[in-house]
Structure 1
């Protein structure tokens, strides 16, 4: 197997990348144009990888290289002299693994693909790359990524809701009484609010407004000394109208202004919610944050989507909606 690495800001995307995404029905989060938009504002250098076997792509890798520090990080460019760093394998702007394998690839083939990628990483970065950390690894993928010599630790889990309902009424009826009452009230209040319009599964949003609201939301949760790297509007622009892209939104019916949103990706395995944003005070004062979850659940029920991923954090809050936690791991390997 042979692996090819590329910087999506400055290097052409191999044709095998898009073909693999089409053939495997991969989430739109892996769109190379969208990942390139993130790369342009990243404090680490984004590197993507394609592993091919006999001219056919069998695996994709995504991640970024640089300092492991979240506070006052030092940029380490790939193209010239720079500081030593680590390659963090993860899907950018998401909560899932930074690798995809072709469905036909068996365990031995997946291990071979992972090894080919690591060889290419070492050849590209040389001694500056101290190692690779595979983040958000599922239990199913652990046998491929870990070895006896690699450090493996549990990390913050993903939160998942398995769809087993035929209607929202059935969903509400299955909740404990106190939660049922509160969530029903939120759902009804938003519907009755003449100053709100709900959009479920819409294909596009105003990219500039989405980037602004996303940044406002992250500003509320910054730790002291942590650097806020803006998510560019180009990210949303390149995702708009892509297959599988689903926005859940609240807008002002008079002006059309975006008040809050969740960006989700729909594919065969389910609906994955990633980036969120809201205008200052809008989500808290009117229950919009909770309502977005309810609209995603409603969308899944109406379309028979098997499961929803709501990502990391706020585990107790998400449990109120019926979510359970799914373990994820980090696997660290020296190179």
Structure 2
């Protein structure tokens, strides 16, 4: 069957009629919902193209990429495309996922054929001045699935994943170093008993506003400003759509007298492996509390176990701390492939 690409600019093009069915059937998180793709594309630092892979009009996968053109200061509001540049394949607004996925579980050779069809189609769309593709969040064994003969690999931060197959949080504690276990238990007890602090876990739309989430998210984003092609801060319209939906869980720490938000974790819900999207907290000198970061992991693990999840994708950054908490670190890299 011949492969065709339905190439979409989420800023302007309408949502395909089968997109939501495709997303949910493929088990993709809420960040791939089309209204969120549109909000992300308007805030992105480079134009975003979404390609739906189709065979005989049946959708078999999707690829999202930013167009890193040669002209400077070409943000999402720029009109027209650059004549040359790199195609940067990455998940929209979420470094814990890949920018490509398929329906079902195709064999390795079929995956390579589909991605080869994507590369050929995107090159026809953009022109010969577009000289390469950068594939992000490539796991061990996956370079062979990506088309191209010359591949330049750049190691990136590993992805932390914590399986939670237990019946209670004590099973998790038992795996940890004694000093870590004792400190987590003690702080969790103290925070729970603290009359000046509330700790709430539940649907984000019930616990936090988009403005509150944006403020704490911005604090966390500042830590990653020096990365190559850093993610743009998520805009308020994006967070309004994200937090207001049904697929995001929040862990919110508040000052009980004034209800001031002190710390916030947002989790993209999923039947098996929810993704910890972000953490943000006020600094102690600004009225925040010490040690909320690690207590947040206790609450996440408790929630994951009680919800019957297979595990948690803890994301990138703070790799050693996450390994000390029992997470497996999956090596990751960016792969540059000239065309």
Moved more, 137-146 or 87-96: 137-146
2:86 maps to which residue? Answer: 86
Of residues 216-225 and 169-178 in structure 1, the stretch that sits farther from structure 2 once superposed is 216-225
CA shift digits 1:154-212 (9 cap, x unpaired): 32210111113221122223311111111112211221222222222423230111111
For 1:185, what is the secondary structure of its paired residue?
helix
In the alignment, structure 1 residue 313 sits paired with structure 2 residue 337: no
Distance in 1 of aligned mates of 2:21 and 2:330: 30
**Residue 248 (structure 2) pairs with residue 245 (structure 1):** yes
State the distance in 2 between where 1:30 and 1:163 align: 25
1:277 to 269, 272, 280: 280
Aligned CA RMSD, in angstroms, stands at 2.7
Distance 1:145 1:220, change over 3 A: closer
User: Structure 1's 151 and 226: CA in aligned 2 closer, same or farther, altered over 3 A?
Assistant: closer
Whole-Å separation in 2 of the counterparts to 1:86 and 1:137: 17
Counterpart residue number, 2:191: 190
1:74 aligns with 2:63: no
SS of the counterpart of 2:274? strand
How far, CA to CA, are the matches of 1:68 and 1:262 in structure 2?
37
Say if 1:124 and 1:151 are closer, same or farther in 2 by CA, change over 3 A.
same
Report the secondary structure of 1:127's partner residue. Answer: coil
Alignment check: 8 A CA contact 1:16 1:50 kept: no
CA distance in 1, matches of 2:46, 2:81: 14
Note if contact 2:116-2:147 (Cα within 8 Å) is conserved in structure 1.
no
**Where does residue 213 of structure 1 map in the other structure?**
216
2:109: which partner in 1? 108
Tell me, which stretches of 5 or more residues in structure 1 are unaligned? Answer: none
CA distance in 1, matches of 2:135, 2:70: 13
In the TM superposition, what whole-angstrom CA distance separates every residue of 1:65-119 from its partner, at most 9, and x where no partner exists? 11599xxx63266742536321111112222211111115333332232122212
For the 8 Å contact 1:16–1:56, the answer to whether it is kept is no
What SS does the corresponding residue of 1:34 show, helix, strand or coil? helix
Q: CA deviation at 1:59?
A: 0.5
Larger deviation, residues 115-124 vs 296-305: 115-124
Where 2:43 maps in the other structure, the secondary structure is: coil
Counterpart Cα distance in 2 of 1:221 and 1:54: 42
Q: Is the contact made by 1:145 and 1:331 (CA closer than 8 Å) also made in structure 2?
A: no
Q: Secondary structure at the match of 1:36?
A: helix
Distance 1:270 1:262 in 2: 16
Relative distance call for 1:228 and 1:133 in structure 2 (3 A) is closer
Q: Distance in 1 between matches of 2:276 and 2:300?
A: 9
**TM-score scaled by length of structure 2:** 0.88
Of 2, 8, 11, the match for 2:10: 8
* Cα offset, 1:128, TM superposition: 3.7
Report the counterpart of residue 174 of structure 2 in structure 1: 173
Shift of 1:279: 2.5
Structure 2 vs 1, CA of residues 175 and 76 (structure 1 numbering), >3 Å: closer, same or farther? closer
Q: Contact (CA 8 Å) 1:157, 1:312: kept in 2 or not?
A: yes
8 Å Cα contact 1:47/1:63 also seen in 2: yes
> Structure 1 length as normaliser, TM-score?
0.89
Match in the other structure for 2:144: 143
Which sits farther off after the overlay, 76-85 or 100-109? Answer: 76-85
What is the CA distance between 1:142 and its match in structure 2?
A: 3.2
Q: Secondary structure at the match of 1:267?
A: coil
Aligned equivalents of 2:223 and 2:119: distance in 1? 37
Aligned length: 332
1:195 and 1:253 in contact (8 A); partners too:
yes
**Counterpart for residue 235 of structure 1:** 238
Shift of 1:16: 3.0
How far does residue 298 in structure 1 lie from its aligned partner after superposition?
A: 0.8
* Residue 58 of structure 2: aligned partner: 56
